[in-house]
Amino acid sequence: MQTSVAQDPVELAVGNWHRFGWGAVDSMAAATSITRVHQVMTARIDAALKPLGLNFSRFEVLALLSFTREGQLPMGKIGDRLQVNAASVTNTIGRLEADGLVERVAHPTDGRATLARILEPGREAAARAAVALAEIHFGLDGLGPRETASVTEAFGGFRRANGDFA
């Protein structure tokens, strides 16, 4: 993770935007804050998962497969559910497969599709990772429950308004 700086970079940016007379200062500050929070969260999540040999993408796939009734999904469906492209799914499944956490199997009725199936070590890894992430509140442990709920609500409205979901 990066080291802390003496002054908040968002505050510095706000000052510069005011100095140059640029508009939408509040929106810029919010967008920049969101970007920084994402970077900090990602670093904290990666640090929590690294000892388990995972990153967040790999954890998401294991969790998704764990949640299914049969422990398997078509690879295309994984991409749809996680909102990532096919190449990312293929890469992530390949790494998980190399580590013995998932396997690829032929779809029983669709010869064009391949299923990713979670194996018992994958279920165990997902459970350990979920504990590790809960311990750091998914990188949000600086926020209290009320703040976390407010962020979720605000971003849910933003995501819906911008077509992320119906």
Q: Assign residue 121 a region (left: φ > 0; alpha: ψ between -120 and 50; beta: otherwise).
A: alpha
Structure pTM? 0.86
Are both 45 and 84 inside the same structural domain? Answer: no
Are both 63 and 119 inside the same structural domain? Answer: yes
pLDDT tens for the 166 residues of the chain, in order: 566 788 999 999 999 999 999 999 999 999 999 999 999 999 999 999 999 999 999 999 999 999 999 999 999 999 999 999 999 999 999 999 999 999 999 999 998 999 999 999 999 999 999 999 999 999 998 899 999 999 999 999 999 999 998 8
- Please report, for the domain that includes residue 60, its CATH number: 1.10.10.10
Are both 66 and 129 inside the same structural domain? Answer: yes
Are both 44 and 58 inside the same structural domain? Answer: no
Please, what is the angle between helix 75-82 and helix 86-98, to 10°?
110
The verdict on residue 152 lying in a domain is no
C-alpha–C-alpha distance, residues 54 and 87, integer Å: 18
Are both 58 and 132 inside the same structural domain? Answer: yes
For residue 39, the enclosing domain spans 1-52
Are both 81 and 9 inside the same structural domain? Answer: no
- Number of domains present in the structure of the chain: 2
Are both 5 and 60 inside the same structural domain? Answer: no
Residues 6+ apart with CB under 8 A from 32: 9, 10, 13
- Give the residue from 60, 55, 61, 28 showing the smallest Cα distance to 42: 55
- Give the residue from 48, 52, 38, 40 showing the smallest Cα distance to 4: 40
The verdict on residue 104 lying in a domain is yes
